[in-house]
Amino acid sequence: MQRWTVLVFVLVFLFACEQQVEQQPSPRPEPIAIEDIRIGFSMDTLVEDRWIKDRDLFKEAVEALGAEVVIEAANGDDVLQVAQAETLIQSGIDVLVIVPHNAEATAAIVHKAHQAGIKVISYDRLVKNADIDLYVSFDNERVGELQAEAMLQAVPQGNYVFIGGAATDNNAHLLKRGAFRVLQPAIDAGDVRVIYDQWTEDWTPVNARDNMREALEINAHQVDAVIASNDATGGGVQEALAIYGLNGKVPIAGQDADLAGIRRIVAGEQLMTVYKPIRHLSQTAAQLAVMLARGEEVEISSYVNNGKKEVPSVLIEPIAVMRDTIDSTVIQDGYHSYDDVYGN
């Protein structure tokens, strides 16, 4: 055999071997066992009632699935939240679930998690301008719509005050958009005058109280309705109204179905609140987190734009709660007990 024929044979043989190697299906990585999954939950705050429930119910849901959760809360401090999340990432968690204090500042955490191969779920609040993997929340525009619808029913004409949430929280903007969408026709018709409209730094009752005092002062106490962005700020509004002898005379709308808010509704000091079933939120987030950790395909058909991408999102429907629907909503759901709501 000539030398060049041998060379051709060798080349053909090598090519065939390579083809065979390529045709072998590459072994799929074994999914991580459930009991080995660790989910990091980075929370902004535990101040409002609801976040305690989020913490406990999320832990319960993750553990019910057989995985482990490590929880950190940052007391509303951006720097601390970033540091805590970094520690979680370094500790080898499989997925990071985050409630951002600041919608923009937390983008850095998402980047770091991804560099470490960890997927990120935005929980309740959207992280803006970041490559997050999933967003699980309520329909926050709907929260504002429900507030405004209830308020227009109760006060079709008059001077409205809008006490916004924290400007650094995307939910505060969504709620406001929803509320004003519903109010706009009444504003255009001249029936509703929005005489005060301010954000409330860090959603604190104290800042809301100061805003409400200012609203009353600059409008000669002529206020007919207040839309407060949650029950905590609603509590601040009530304090301010009480100072002017207006407690129970001006309807307030809130959200979260905090026990204090619900009890104000019972006492006739607040018109309504918006209940967001936290158990549903936390269970959904826990299931999705475990799926992401196992590298499973997650099929989600709705998207929310966060400034960087269309984020696959699950948005749960919120529920309006009025005096006559407390029993059939929050009590029936076991969110609050009958005694807590109506007891002394």
Which range touches ligand BGC (CB under 6 A), out of 7-15, 164-172, 185-193, 208-216? 164-172
Residue 244, number of CB atoms within 10 A of its CB: 15
CA distance 278 to 334: 11
DSSP state of 129: S
Does the footprint of ligand BGC cover residue 141 (CB under 6 A)? no
Distance of closest approach, residue 124 Cβ to ligand BGC, in angstroms: 5
The mark string for 179-208 relative to ligand BGC (x by CB under 6 A, - otherwise) is: ------------------------x-----
Which position among 55, 101, 119, 125 is part of the footprint of ligand BGC (CB under 6 A)? 125
Give Cα separations from 94 to 16, 17, 100, 202 (angstroms).
40, 38, 19, 30
| Helix orientation angle between 170-188 and 140-154, rounded to the nearest 10 degrees | 40
d(CA 162, CA 211): 10
Q: Which two tokens stand for residue 57?
A: 């119910």
Residue with tokens 């779920």: 121
Residue 65 or 316: the one with the smaller Cβ distance to ligand BGC is: 316
Place of tokens 């060379």: 7
Near ligand BGC in 244-283, by CB under 6 A? 256
The reply on whether position 50 binds ligand BGC by CB under 6 A is yes
What type of residue is 32? Answer: I
Stretch that binds ligand BGC, among 27-35, 86-94, 163-171, 313-321 (CB under 6 A): 163-171
Write down the least CB distance from residue 125 to ligand BGC, Å. Answer: 5
When asked if residue 48 is in the footprint of ligand BGC (CB under 6 A), the reply is yes
Interface with ligand BGC includes 169 (CB under 6 A)? Answer: yes
The answer to whether the Cα torsion of 314, 113, 33, 39 is positive or negative is: negative
Nearer to ligand BGC, 256 or 269 (CB): 256
Report how far residue 135's alpha carbon sits from residue 174's, in angstroms, rounded to the nearest whole number.
15
Name residue 163's beta-bridge partners: 198, 228
Interface with ligand BGC, residue 209, by CB under 6 A:
no
Q: Which is nearer to ligand BGC, 50 or 128 (CB)?
A: 50
Site membership for ligand BGC, residue 124 (CB under 6 A): yes
Q: Where along the sequence are the contacts to ligand BGC (CB under 6 A)? A: 48, 50, 124-125, 165, 169, 171, 203, 230, 256
